[in-house]
C-alpha cells in the first residue's frame, strides 16, 4: 500500500488493491459545501464527487453508501458495481474557499472486461411523485409538497447518473397509483408504462417525517437542534405485467434548522442545500444507484403494438439502445390453471426471430427472418433484446 492510499484511509476508510489489468489513471476534481463548519464531512463528500466523476469517465459506475447519525458521518464506503474497480487513489490537492472544499484526486480505474451485454442497453422508467403516508408529520415546516420535489430530485439524479436507466416522464401523484388502491382490472402500472414509453414504473412513499425534539433534564428545555427523520419506501414495477420486481426502504435523519412555525419552501435551492436537504439527496442518490445496479443486466423488453403478415411495430427504439439490424426474440403471452384452480400467467419463446429494419426514437419496425414462423406473432406479444 502506497503512502497516498494510506493518507486517504483516514478520510475515506478504504483502499482497494487489485491486480493490474486494463487500468487507467484519471484525474478529477470534486467539490462540496461546508455545512455547520464540519470540514471532515465536506472533504469526504468532495472526494466522493471527484471519484464518481472519474469512474463515469472511465465507463464504470459507483454506488456511495453513507450512514449519518446526528448530522455526523459515522461510516463511509464505496461499492464499485459491474463495470469497473478502483485500484488506487491519490489526493493531489485540497482547497478551502468561499465555504466549499475542493479536492483534486488521481484514481487508477480498472475496467471489467466481463460485462453483461444488456449493460449497454437503456432501461426506461416512468416516475410518479411520492405520497406522504402521515401528512400530519409535514405540519412542522409546512413541507406538504416534499414528495413532489423529492421525486424531481430523484428524476434528475437518475438521468444524470450516466448509467443504464433513464426517466421518460415524471407524473403527478394520483390516488389510484398509491399502494393498496389499485383499480380492478388491468394493473395501473401497465397503463402507465405503455402511455410513457417506459419499461418500468418507479414510485415511492414517504413514511416518516417526524421531528425528534431533544429535551434536557432541566425543565424540559433544550438548546440542542432537533433531528428530523426522512424514511422512503421505494417500489419498482415491471410495465409488461404490472408485477413488483423490487422494493427497498431508505432512512436517514439530519438536524432540522428551521423554526417550528416557519413555512419552508421545499422547492427552493436553499432547502436542498440545508443539512436536511443534503441528507435527503444522499438517500435519493443511493436509490438511483441501487436501481441502476438492479436493472444493469436486465434484458430490454417491449411489446408489439401493430402487426401485419410481414412486419411488426414495437414500442422500443433508439432511446433504448436498439440499433438497425438487431435481432429480437418474441415471447407469446398465455396463461394456465394450476391444480388449485389458480390462473397463472406464462410466456412462451417463439421460434421466430425479428430483425430491426426501421428505427425511431421510441418505436421500431421489424421483419421476421422466416415468414413461415411468423404466423403466430400478434399484438401484445412481448419482445426481448438481450
Does 376 score more than 50 pLDDT?
yes
Give per-residue pLDDT as tens, 360-369.
988 999 999 9
pLDDT attached to residue 137: 96
Cell of 375: 404466423
User: Own/partner pairs for 14-19, CB < 8 Å, 24+ apart?
Assistant: 14/77, 14/78, 15/88, 15/89, 16/80, 16/85, 16/86, 16/87, 16/88, 17/87, 17/88, 18/85, 18/87, 18/110
Q: How many CB atoms lie within 10 A of CB 347?
A: 15
Instruction: Assess whether 237 and 353 both reside in one domain.
Output: no
244/340 same-domain check: no
373: CB partners within 8 A, 6+ apart: 350, 351, 352
| Domain match, 222 and 121 both | yes
In the DSSP assignment, the letter for residue 175 is G
At 64, which CATH number? 3.30.1660.40
Dmax (CA) for the chain in angstroms is 86
Distance (Å, whole) CA 373 – CA 309: 11
CB atoms within 10 A of CB 371: 11
- Cα 121 to Cα 298: distance, rounded to the nearest angstrom: 9
Cell digits of residue 136: 400530519
- Say yes or no: 216 and 279 in one domain: yes
The residue among 295, 311, 336 that closes a domain is 295
pLDDT(13) > 70: no
Count of other CB atoms within 10 angstroms of residue 20: 9
Please give the average per-residue pLDDT across 328-354, as a whole number: 78
CA distance 76 to 318: 38
pLDDT of residue 130 exceeding 80, the answer is yes
Of 346 and 255, more confident = 255
Instruction: Report the predicted TM-score, pTM, of the whole model to 2 decimal places.
Output: 0.67
In angstroms, the CA 233 to CA 131 distance is: 10
Identity of the highest mean pLDDT range in 81-95, 142-156, 168-182: 142-156
Residue 112 phi, psi dihedral angles, 5° rounding: -95, 115
More confident residue, 93 or 184: 93
| Domain membership of residue 63 as a residue range | 3-111
Cα–Cα nearest to 294, from 99, 41, 85, 118? 118
Alpha helices per DSSP H over 77-183: 146-160
| In contact, 98 and 92? CB cutoff 8 Å | no
The burial of 32, by beta-carbon neighbours within 10 Å (0-12 exposed, 13-18 middle, 19 or more buried), is given as buried
Domain of 360, CATH number, reads: 2.40.10.410
> For residue 21, which of 114, 119, 120 has the smallest C-alpha distance?
114
Do 320 and 361 lie in a common domain? Answer: yes
Can you give the CATH number for the domain in which 233 is found? 3.40.50.10610
Do 93 and 203 belong together in one domain? no
What torsion do the CA atoms of 42, 43, 47, 53 make, to the nearest 10 degrees?
40
pLDDT of residue 26 exceeding 90 = no
- Same domain, residue pair 250 and 318: no
Tens digit of each residue's pLDDT (9 = 90 or more) over 215-257: 554 445 555 789 999 999 999 998 887 889 999 999 999 999 9
Strands lying side by side in the sheet with 100-111 = 23-33, 100-111, 84-97
Q: Which of 85, 111, 137 is the last residue of a domain?
A: 111
The DSSP secondary structure of 47-80, one letter per residue, reads: HHHHHHHHHHHTT-EEEEEEEEETTEEEEEEEEE
204 and 155 co-located in one domain: yes
Q: Pick the last residue of a domain from 246, 264, 295.
A: 295
Angle at 33 between CA 30 and CA 36, to 5 degrees: 145
Into how many domains does the chain fold?
3
User: What is the distance between the alpha carbons of residues 44 and 66, in angstroms, rounded to a whole number?
Assistant: 10
Instruction: Say whether both 291 and 153 belong to one domain.
Output: yes
Q: What is the pLDDT of residue 87?
A: 65
Q: The C-alpha cell of 82 is what?
A: 459491474
Amino acid at each position: 500500500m502506497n503512502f497516498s492510499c494510506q493518507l486517504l484511509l483516514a478520510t475515506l476508510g478504504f483502499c482497494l488493491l487489485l491486480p493490474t489489468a486494463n487500468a487507467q489513471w484519471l484525474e478529477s476534481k470534486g467539490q462540496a459545501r461546508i455545512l455547520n463548519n464540519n470540514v471532515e464531512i465536506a472533504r469526504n463528500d468532495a472526494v466522493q464527487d471527484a471519484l464518481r466523476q472519474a469512474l463515469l469517465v472511465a465507463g464504470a459506475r459507483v454506488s456511495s453508501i453513507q450512514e449519518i447519525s446526528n448530522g455526523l458521518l459515522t461510516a463511509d464506503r464505496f461499492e464499485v458495481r459491474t463495470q469497473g474497480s478502483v485500484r488506487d487513489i491519490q489526493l493531489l490537492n485540497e482547497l478551502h474557499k468561499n465555504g466549499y472544499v475542493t479536492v483534486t484526486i488521481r484514481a487508477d480505474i480498472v475496467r471489467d472486461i466481463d460485462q453483461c451485454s444488456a449493460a449497454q442497453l437503456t432501461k426506461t422508467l416512468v416516475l410518479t411523485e411520492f405520497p406522504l403516508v402521515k401528512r400530519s408529520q409535514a405540519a412542522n415546516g409546512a413541507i406538504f409538497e416534499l414528495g413532489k420535489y423529492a421525486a424531481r430530485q430523484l428524476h434528475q439524479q437518475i438521468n444524470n447518473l450516466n448509467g443504464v436507466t433513464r426517466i421518460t416522464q415524471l407524473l403527478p401523484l394520483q390516488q389510484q397509483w398509491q399502494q393498496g388502491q389499485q383499480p380492478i382490472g388491468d394493473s395501473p402500472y401497465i397503463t402507465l408504462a405503455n402511455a410513457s414509453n417506459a419499461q418500468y414504473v418507479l414510485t415511492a412513499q414517504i413514511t416518516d417525517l417526524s421531528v425528534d425534539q431533544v429535551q434536557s433534564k432541566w425543565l424540559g428545555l433544550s438548546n440542542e437542534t432537533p433531528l428530523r427523520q426522512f424514511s422512503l419506501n421505494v417500489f419498482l414495477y415491471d410495465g409488461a405485467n404490472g408485477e413488483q420486481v423490487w422494493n427497498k426502504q431508505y432512512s436517514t435523519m439530519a438536524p432540522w434548522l428551521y423554526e417550528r412555525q416557519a413555512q419552508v419552501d421545499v422547492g427552493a435551492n436553499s432547502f436542498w442545500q440545508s443539512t436536511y436537504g443534503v441528507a435527503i439527496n444522499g438517500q435519493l442518490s443511493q436509490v438511483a444507484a441501487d436501481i441502476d445496479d438492479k436493472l444493469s443486466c436486465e434484458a430490454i423488453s417491449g411489446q408489439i403494438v401493430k402487426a401485419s403478415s410481414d412486419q411488426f411495430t414495437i414500442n422500443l427504439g433508439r432511446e433504448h439502445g436498439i440499433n438497425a439490424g438487431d435481432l429480437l426474440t418474441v415471447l407469446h403471452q398465455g396463461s394456465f390453471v394450476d391444480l388449485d384452480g389458480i390462473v397463472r400467467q406464462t410466456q412462451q419463446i417463439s421460434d421466430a426471430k425479428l430483425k430491426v429494419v426501421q428505427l425511431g426514437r421510441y418505436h421500431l419496425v421489424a421483419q421476421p427472418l422466416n415468414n413461415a414462423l411468423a404466423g403466430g406473432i400478434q399484438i401484445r406479444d412481448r419482445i426481448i433484446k438481450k
